[in-house]
Structure 1
Amino acid sequence: MELRTERLVLRDFRREDTPSVLAYQSKPAYLEHYGHPPPTADDVRAFVERLCQWAHEVPRAKYQLAITLEGRVIGTCGVRKASAGDTVAEYGCELDPAFWGHGYAHEASRALITFGFTTLGLRRLFALTRPQNRAAIRLAQALGFHGVSDERYERGPD
């Protein structure tokens, strides 16, 4: 699975992506939004392994893709359905803090959301975030999500 944007390639995860994910998920700026303490190498290895397994499920329900820039993993973006036949999915995106503020999360998210509505036949997406994560809320709003609570945002196809 691969999606291309002007600057990015979104692709299925590979086990060798683990060190890149561990590096960004251990940064203090990342941990402000995703909790403490930092993940262990085993935690991240299990996380990447789960994403690799999702990519091989048939039928596939979860599309959590690596965001890569010039071959380097800089984050992940996904739409995850509870089961393959569902038309509602959860959207989520995380990015290495070194790459915040350059439009990469928006660019990757637009591509994946378009894929979800046009290819997967989704009718609704929802995103969950903490009210303190203002950047995530701004991203959700810029992508057309509307708040239905302090922590939940939803959108349908354009």
Structure 2
Amino acid sequence: MEQTNKIGMKSRDSFLETERLEFSTWSEEDRPLASALWGDHEVTKWISSKGFLSEDEIEARLAQEMERQREMEVQYWPIFDKETGVFLGCCGLRPYAPDEKIYELGVHLTRDHWGKGYALEAAKAVIRYAFEHLGVKAIFAGHHPENGASRRLLLKLGFTYKKDEFYEPTGKMHPSYFLSRSDMK
């Protein structure tokens, strides 16, 4: 069902909302959005050992997100400004230890939306959705060892540091954290 937002622009179907954000799912038509996000070296330097993703890697990432949604009903969902419809990035889940109902939280924002509280707002919504609607038992999150903003975000969200864990895409040991339902404040 197509809807319009407050300024008359077409908006996407959303399944989760916050005060400022709408969450949707990735589709084939989102290639330009995926390129704007994962094609930005300032974003991908935290998630790739090369510091960037090629067009083929961006295409594969988008396909992987769509496949994960079909198979597991989770992905790093694209997020949009509720009022303007502007693409802000993505925030969501992927399997970490699915047999134990543990999923990984991730947030990637376009550079011009850093430092505005969107990551915190989006992550809180995804965490609530994971525990209340998906029956997740715990959430894992990690970050590049030099990404202090991600570390601060995870601590604000109530995550507890557990150990450093090797992350193959960057080739580095990433600080790793967990959050269980009982940790929720």
Counterpart contact for 2:100–2:137, Cα < 8 Å? no
Counterpart Cα distance in 2 of 1:11 and 1:117: 19
Residues 24-43 of structure 1: matches in 2 within 5 Å? 24-35=37-48, 36-43=50-57
- Cα offset for 1:23? 1.8
- Cα offset for 1:61? 5.3
User: How many residues in Structure 1 have an aligned counterpart in Structure 2?
Assistant: 156
Q: Which residue of 2 aligns with 1:97?
A: 111
- Cα offset for 1:81? 2.6
Instruction: Give the letter aligned to residue 68 of structure 1.
Output: F
Change (3 A) 1:16 1:61: closer
Counterpart contact for 1:9–1:68, Cα < 8 Å? yes
- Residue-by-residue CA offset, 1:58-97 (whole Å, 9 max, x unaligned): xx25332111123333211112235765421111111111
Q: Which residue of 1 aligns with 2:80?
A: 68
Instruction: Give the letter aligned to residue 34 of structure 2.
Output: V
Counterpart Cα distance in 2 of 1:13 and 1:104: 19
Change (3 A) 1:28 1:45: closer
Q: Pick the structure with greater CA Rg.
A: 2
Instruction: Give the letter aligned to residue 21 of structure 1.
Output: A
Q: Which residue of 1 aligns with 2:6?
A: none
Q: TM-score, normalised by structure 2?
A: 0.76
Q: Which ranges in structure 1 are unaligned for 5 or more consecutive residues?
A: none
- Residue-by-residue CA offset, 1:100-139 (whole Å, 9 max, x unaligned): 0001111111111000011111121110112211000111
Change (3 A) 1:14 1:5: same
Q: Which residue of 1 aligns with 2:169?
A: none
- Cα offset for 1:37? 4.5
Change (3 A) 1:32 1:47: closer
Change (3 A) 1:120 1:17: same
Structural RMSD (CA): 2.0
SS at match of 2:45: helix
Q: Which residue of 2 aligns with 1:8?
A: 21
Counterpart selection for 2:151 from 137, 141, 146: 137
Residues 50-129 of structure 1: matches in 2 within 5 Å? 50-57=64-71, 60=72, 62-69=74-81, 70-82=84-96, 86-129=100-143
User: Are 2:31 and 1:18 aligned?
Assistant: yes
Which deviates further from its counterpart, 107-116 or 37-46?
Answer: 37-46
Q: TM-score, normalised by structure 1?
A: 0.88
Counterpart selection for 1:48 from 52, 55, 62: 62
Q: Which ranges in structure 2 are unaligned for 5 or more consecutive residues?
A: 1-13, 165-174
